Amino acid sequence: SQTIHQWPATLVQPVGSPLSLECTVEGTSNPNLYWYRQAAGRGLQLLFYSVGIGQISSEVPQNLSASRPQDRQFILSSKKLLLSDSGFYLCAWSRRGSYEQYFGPGTRLTVT
């Protein structure tokens, strides 16, 4: 069976510090990978998606970037965090040729 992991589960970082969130998927190959953010009082927003190693598409301009160094690894980064980056970050995956997405447990980021 397939599983998706995210870490850390929670993170408190000061404004201006760097960020690295990691997501890995097990039990499948060549997945599509996604990063979403859920901010307080707002719906989930797609930040990035990837259809292969090194292939990243950004949905919204922001202070964040994403990378996919390995087939089943997806990393969300920032060089300098802003207060507005606080939120619940969710990673998801889908099989090639399928649009059904499966979500990880999420990372709660608080920028102080």
Partner 1 sequence: KQEVTQIPAALSVPEGENLVLNCSFTDSAIYNLQWFRQDPGKGLTSLLLIQSSQREQTSGRLNASLDKSSGRSTLYIAASQPGDSATYLCAADSNSGYALNFGKGTSLLVTP
Q: Is the dihedral of CA 45, 36, 105, 110 positive or negative?
A: negative
Using the rule CB under 8 A, is 109 a contact of partner 1? no
Work out which of 11, 44, 53, 56 binds partner 1, going by CB under 8 A.
Answer: 44
Piece in contact with partner 1 (CB under 8 A), picked from 21-29, 39-47, 65-73, 75-83: 39-47
Work out which of 28, 62, 71, 102 binds partner 1, going by CB under 8 A.
Answer: 102
Using the rule CB under 8 A, is 101 a contact of partner 1? yes
CA 85, chain centre distance (Å): 13
Q: What is the DSSP string of 51-70?
A: EETTEEEESS--S-EEEEEE
Q: Is the dihedral of CA 39, 84, 80, 59 positive or negative?
A: positive
Work out which of 29, 54, 83, 100 binds partner 1, going by CB under 8 A.
Answer: 100
